[in-house]
Structure 1
Amino acid sequence: MKIEVLPVTPFQQNCSIIICTETNKAAIVDPGGEVDRIISKLDSLGVIAEKILITHAHIDHAGGTKDLSERLTLPIEGPQQEDIFWIDRLSDQSRMFQFPEAKPFEPTRWLSHNDKVTVGNLEFQVLHCPGHTPGHVVFINHKYKWCWVGDVLFKGSIGRTDFPRGDHATLINAIKENLLPLDDDYQFLSGHGPTSTIGNERVNNPYIN
């Protein structure tokens, strides 16, 4: 497995490309915008784009989804269906945050807790982790002990819950129920900022201790 991170949008959202090195197939996680840059990166890597994975439907994570899907004819997997609330409002979100116009999309596959998704020969467990948004999901590869957690958990912090349909108690419960049981050496990539490990956050994150 190989991971390429491409910060996009003025919010510097960590769009990532997960590559199965056995098959050269790749998934784009959270294409929030700057679709031309994402496509150029895929071309430079020489990979076969297979699908788009979405953790949640805030504009900086999902704003480029429909455009990328249409241009590369890619299926969209995720988020969980409760995030239709945010998908339907992508155009409103783009105006609110002065982003380029973003179009709503219909996922090829809505995801549910404990679903599996694949990228080439790689397999990921899906965990529904609401609180930041109602349909937020995370992706975990247990073989390589890597997690894509969107805006659920950050190094030293947690996701905001002051947006519509956010809930602090729900978010804390999702983290404690789904992420903290993982081994200390599981690494995770957040939607913004640096990577960290579950063990580091278990000890040092003041929001979950």
Structure 2
Amino acid sequence: MKLPKTAHTSRPWRIHELTRDFAVEDVWALPTPGGPDDFPRLVSQTVSGDNFPEGAPLVVRVLWAARWKIGALLGWDRPKSGLGSRVASLRDRLPDDLREAPKGPESAAFPLAPVYLLKDEWAAELANSTVHTVMHMGWVPDGAGGYRGQMTVLVKPNGRLGAVYMAAIKPFRLWFVYPALMREIGRSWRAEAEGRPSARTQ
């Protein structure tokens, strides 16, 4: 479910200290019900990236593939356009306590670089010729005694190119990519929960 931007900005996340020059683009409630200690499972599932976009509808797979082909053709994703080249990593902004915190898991299947991991908060980032973007995951009370994940995408467009790019992809993100991603996150979460020993013995 898509949430208002205040669902992110009203919470005392540490990411606010690092992204004052970023805009909150999207905030989503994730279909990942759980307990207070289940956040590491959400982070691990996100980084594994096993079934997205492969498990998404055809239109999403086509859009996903087209983005990377266009990026390759136009040179959007060259190393010189990324972190440490065109833009500095958010890790360069970390205060001492966050610098000492774990970064979180990494995977070749997941294109974003981890920034920091806390008990209820995780951030990862990606930069190319169009944008510097941050994916923020949080673990929040669901109002019914449990918890769920919350995902926020923050962006810093790279000039006019980045602004045009973000405007062009917005309908595809909201109508196709995010709904498919939410379904896949929910499916994977349920499947993993059903496979855990505690779930099998209930």
After TM superposition, the score normalised by the length of structure 1 is: 0.29
Bigger Cα Rg:
2
Q: Which has the higher contact order (CA 8 A, sep 6+)?
A: 2
Calculate the TM-score normalised by the size of structure 2: 0.29
